[in-house]
Structure 1
Amino acid sequence: MSDTLETISVGSIIFIAIKPIIKVYMIIGVGFFLARKNVLSIDTTRDISYIVVTVLVPCLNFAKIVTNIDNSFLPQIGTIMITLVMIMIGQGLLTFGVGLLAGCPRSWWGGLFMCGLLPNISDLPIAYLQGMQSSNVFADIDLGVSYICIYGAVHGFVQFNLGAFRIVGIDFDYDKRKKIDEETGEVSESNSQKPEKIEVHTDADDADKISIQSYDEANNYVQPIYGSDEVISHRIPSLMSSLNSRVSHPLGTELVKNPTAVDSMYHNPTRSNHPESINDLVKVYSKYNNQSGTTEDEVNDPDESDTDKRQPPKSKAREQFDIFLSTFIENTLKPASISTVVSVIICMVPWLKALFVNTHQAHLSPAPDKQPPLSFFIDFTSYIGNAQVPFGLMLLGGTIGRIRLEALPKGLWKMPLVVTIVKLILFPVIGCALNSKLQKDDLFYGDKILYFVSTIEYCLPPATSIIYFTAFYTPTDGEQTIQMDILALVYIFHYVSLIIFLPIVVTYTMKVLLGF
């Protein structure tokens, strides 16, 4: 940090705070434009996401963490964990509590909590921080990106390994039970305690069943999304109520879908005249498949099913534990997860770190070019990983570009407005106060870039992955749900307001908290 910038004027700081967000909006705008032109279609997005999550995210995590972090940063990592717990749990509970007081409909309680629990904690802050590079305010921007990668890794761990994505399904369970109660005329507490059934009848005909197609049939698997929250455009995990369901990250392959309907949509030569919408996204991502008359249980091997029937039934608790354990292990073995674990191990062991980058903690004989023996691997991962953020933001723009509300239900705008006020106004104030307390307790260890990153993490919109979780649980009956309507407005409100409130938080942090 230069001496001249230590006494920088408020006007200059405001300009420095606004400049990166404009760049972010321009990249998002490119994705928005491409999506409206159907160049960045749902199918194309799925393919790009596969590249991002299997190659770009692991490369970015490896390059940034190994290069900038070592075992002397363990206290900073501890502060990141403390801050992230306050962000996710605190924001989740506050958003949920204020939303209930504002009259949130029961059908969106799960989505309300998820909007607070899961912020866009990776791509957006990385792009914003890198946009400040030319301002020379911080000399260690790459270190800040490394901190954000750690934030993203822990965020993804909670979102997928610990199964937080299932919270969205609570809303649709409630709607389903309510609809059944209305049709049967029986409202009882026992209905509310029953687990979600796989087979659900449509209004058209009792013989036509909304069903799930096992994605194991196509040898599809799901990839993780640690460190890149905005590139989720693949299969959301399969049904959780079956022990045979394989729950994993929603990236890296296609969602359970209706092949006939979706393929005809993609191969329609006139599709470019009709931009894809959220309804098209639901058709691809929903766990329901109207074209099949069977459920996931029914497409399993008959002999295997007979064997399972002969086995004693498992308790509900054991069944849920088996699902959780399967989810946890499978998601831990995905590329982004493995890259994060390997990166942390390497950066914490000086002799391993010295193979890739120069470090004062250990010395190895250099290669003929006077560089560490494996420095070419850092060059490779850094070069490839740098593409992750712009791709992620373009995919975010593409997702926003598909959001359209044809008919606005009366009073629906109130809840998105409340969520926006909590996340972009109220909680950043709380976050600044909490971080000020951590600073007084010397838990930022004089690391200004850590202080800065930890503060802007309090002022972020919801993770775009929530759209895909919601689409996964949305029935493909052609009717727009209240869950998707509210969520669409939430993103519109947030990204219209972010260009105002994020620079305010950044300006206050730099001028008051960091003393520029």
Structure 2
Amino acid sequence: MVAIGTLIWVSLRPLLRLCICVACGFGITKAELFSAQAARGTGQLTLNITIPSLLFSKMVPAFTPENVSALGPLIIIAIIYTVLGIVFAWIIKQFFWVPHRFRYGFLMAGGWANYGDIPTSVVMSLTAAAPFGQPGQQDLAVAYIAAFILIFSLTLFPFGGYKLVAWDYEGPDVEDEERREMVRQKRRAVAKVFSQPSNLLKRRNTYQDSDSGNSIDVEKMPATKTRDEESADRSNIDVHDPDPDFEISEIPIHDSGVTSTAASITHVEGTLLPTTTHNPALSFTDSKHHHSRSKKSIDDIDIQDHHRSTSLQSHSTIPTKTKTKRTRWQHLFPHIKAFLLSLLSPPSLSILIALPIALITPLKALFVLIPNSPIPNAPDNEPPLAFIQDAASFIGAASVPLGLFNLGSALARLNIPRSQWGSLPMGAILSLAVAKTVIFPILGVLICQALTNAGFINREDPVLRFVCIFMSVLPTATTQVYITQVYSGTGEAGHVSSFLIPQYILMLIAMIILTAYSIHIIF
């Protein structure tokens, strides 16, 4: 049992280091010493070099055939957190209005959390000292975080999560007041249903059919309308329906030319076979005319019709099928190519390379020292490729500080004018912040404890249990700021900032409480 004072200090210490790094990035940005272009370059350096190096250097020595089974729980937990976040955001959006140009980005803000620099900084600091502090636990913690980074990368880019931001900027604009009114109507509808219990239980109004004696359910009968009513309904249709719940399948996605490949809705037309039309000249309803026709003439007509139909089908079907197959491939190939290219992003590629090296003994012996190595060492008694491992460790050490500097710089640029505070969607902002930093950690503890009791998460692996729980308290990823800047057309991400700032403020308190409680239940 760890003392309460010790728990608080152990939980607070890694956050102090995190806050110092973020404050440095914040300060040099406000002092105009760290421009947006410099921050963008630093971000590219972090994403493409330092993070892949850190993941490689930690995963190769950490993973073994004995603990690789932990990848299963980690991936499942990462998927659960992503799906739950999207569901929470969708529920909040039903009760609180969200700006039109953030209606889909709000779902992304709920589902994709900051799985990079923040958890890596905190977890590396915690696992380096008591009550963890065992050899190899720090490397193992980063290796476990890599599973969350992999799911983040796959769902955001190859599987198209970034398109949520792109959809926000399609179609005409909608005023905030219209969005507020839409939510008010939803609230009234829900309140009306639950305020009258009789509405929940459908009353069956039946009457007796005088002709057949059958009982007819009035509520199941299709409603009939007069022509005037139908004309009025058609005149009330808004061709620019702003309801976000019905726009996903109708909005085409255009290629940004910067970070992603366009997706489009493909319509494949089927083969239209010739149909037989009714010809009065060939009718045999008249008995006299029917008897005047001979059986041979009838057979001749049938044969001619058959040959004509077969000829039409042979000429129209084959080219259409060939064209359809070619069209399908032409539409699918860009998507397949984009998916495969997304898998080759540096962080994902680093994980996919490091994992087999860590699990195949001869390959692992080339990079790190292992007992009973089948590979002879170099003249300095180090593995032949140990210099690659050393370089990756040296470069990867810069990943966390650079990432936190960029986070501070991004927060410094999130400016909300005071004149706009009254027009902000405070209900949605506060609800999402509370959901991400209060409700989500509670659910994370309950889910992880339930999976531990069920034997799905190894109870004897404290690092695994802590990482699974800790990843539930993370705020929205700052990556959404950069994606929004690309698709907004103006380089701005105004709506994102108002939703991020409260989360990162509440995160500090929530992390201390969750870290202390997690250590308490694990040890």
TM-score normalized by the length of structure 1: 0.71
Alpha carbons of structure 1 residues 37 and 197: separation in structure 2 relative to 1, 3 Å: same
Q: Percent identity?
A: 22
Letter in 1 for 2:470: I
1:225-240 to structure 2, matched below 5 A, reads 235-237=258-260, 239-240=262-263
Which residue pairs with 1:372 in the alignment?
383
Alpha carbons of structure 1 residues 384 and 363: separation in structure 2 relative to 1, 3 Å: same
Alpha carbons of structure 1 residues 432 and 467: separation in structure 2 relative to 1, 3 Å: same
Give the secondary-structure state (helix, strand or coil) at the position aligned to 2:131: coil
Which residue pairs with 1:4 in the alignment?
none
CA contact 2:79–2:151 (8 Å) conserved in 1: no
- How far is the alpha carbon of 1:161 from its aligned partner? 1.5
User: Is 1:46 aligned to residue 40 of structure 2?
Assistant: yes
Which residue pairs with 2:180 in the alignment?
none
Match of 1:514 among 506, 519, 522: 522
Alpha carbons of structure 1 residues 315 and 169: separation in structure 2 relative to 1, 3 Å: farther
Give the secondary-structure state (helix, strand or coil) at the position aligned to 1:131: helix
CA distance in 2, matches of 1:38, 1:485: 20
CA contact 1:350–1:361 (8 Å) conserved in 2: no
Alpha carbons of structure 1 residues 241 and 398: separation in structure 2 relative to 1, 3 Å: farther
CA distance in 1, matches of 2:101, 2:329: 28
1:58-457 to structure 2, matched below 5 A, reads 58-105=52-99, 107-133=101-127, 135-138=129-132, 139=134, 140-176=137-173, 187-188=238-239, 195-196=251-252, 235-237=258-260, 239-241=262-264, 321-360=332-371, 362-406=373-417, 407-445=420-458, 446-457=460-471
- Residues 24-56 of structure 1: CA deviation (Å, up to 9, x unaligned): 111111111122223221211222222222221
Give the secondary-structure state (helix, strand or coil) at the position aligned to 1:381: helix
Q: Which runs of 4+ in 1 moved over 6 A?
A: 311-320
188-197 vs 60-69, which deviates more?
188-197
- Residues 260-293 of structure 1: CA deviation (Å, up to 9, x unaligned): xxxxxxxxxxxxxxxxxxxxxxxxxxxxxxxxxx
Which residue pairs with 1:469 in the alignment?
483
- How far is the alpha carbon of 1:186 from its aligned partner? 8.0
CA contact 1:415–1:486 (8 Å) conserved in 2: no
- Residues 76-106 of structure 1: CA deviation (Å, up to 9, x unaligned): 0111111111111122212321332334455
Letter in 2 for 1:168: V
Alpha carbons of structure 1 residues 498 and 361: separation in structure 2 relative to 1, 3 Å: farther
Alpha carbons of structure 1 residues 197 and 95: separation in structure 2 relative to 1, 3 Å: closer
- How far is the alpha carbon of 1:135 from its aligned partner? 3.4
Match of 1:504 among 505, 513, 523: 513
Which residue pairs with 2:496 in the alignment?
487
Letter in 1 for 2:506: S
Alpha carbons of structure 1 residues 194 and 154: separation in structure 2 relative to 1, 3 Å: closer
Give the secondary-structure state (helix, strand or coil) at the position aligned to 2:162: helix
CA distance in 1, matches of 2:328, 2:171: 21
CA contact 1:115–1:463 (8 Å) conserved in 2: yes
CA distance in 1, matches of 2:239, 2:164: 23
Give the secondary-structure state (helix, strand or coil) at the position aligned to 2:54: helix
Mark the runs of 5 or more structure 1 residues left unpaired by the alignment.
1-6, 180-184, 199-211, 216-234, 244-310
Which residue pairs with 2:203 in the alignment?
none
Give the secondary-structure state (helix, strand or coil) at the position aligned to 1:364: coil
CA distance in 2, matches of 1:332, 1:442: 32
CA distance in 2, matches of 1:336, 1:427: 26
CA distance in 1, matches of 2:435, 2:365: 45
Which residue pairs with 1:303 in the alignment?
none
Mark the runs of 5 or more structure 2 residues left unpaired by the alignment.
177-235, 267-321
Q: Alignment RMSD, CA only?
A: 3.0
Matched pairs, number: 399
496-505 vs 106-115, which deviates more?
106-115
CA contact 2:73–2:457 (8 Å) conserved in 1: yes
Letter in 2 for 1:380: A
- How far is the alpha carbon of 1:335 from its aligned partner? 2.9
- Residues 288-316 of structure 1: CA deviation (Å, up to 9, x unaligned): xxxxxxxxxxxxxxxxxxxxxxx979999
User: Is 1:35 aligned to residue 29 of structure 2?
Assistant: yes
CA distance in 1, matches of 2:402, 2:240: 47
CA contact 1:355–1:364 (8 Å) conserved in 2: yes
Alpha carbons of structure 1 residues 134 and 154: separation in structure 2 relative to 1, 3 Å: closer
CA distance in 1, matches of 2:90, 2:373: 49
CA contact 1:59–1:382 (8 Å) conserved in 2: yes
CA distance in 2, matches of 1:502, 1:316: 52
TM-score normalized by the length of structure 2: 0.70
Letter in 1 for 2:118: L
- How far is the alpha carbon of 1:505 from its aligned partner? 0.7
CA distance in 2, matches of 1:186, 1:455: 48
Larger radius of gyration: 2
CA contact 1:162–1:324 (8 Å) conserved in 2: no
Letter in 2 for 1:22: L
- How far is the alpha carbon of 1:372 from its aligned partner? 1.8
- Residues 170-209 of structure 1: CA deviation (Å, up to 9, x unaligned): 2222545899xxxxx98327996654486xxxxxxxxxxx
User: Is 1:24 aligned to residue 18 of structure 2?
Assistant: yes
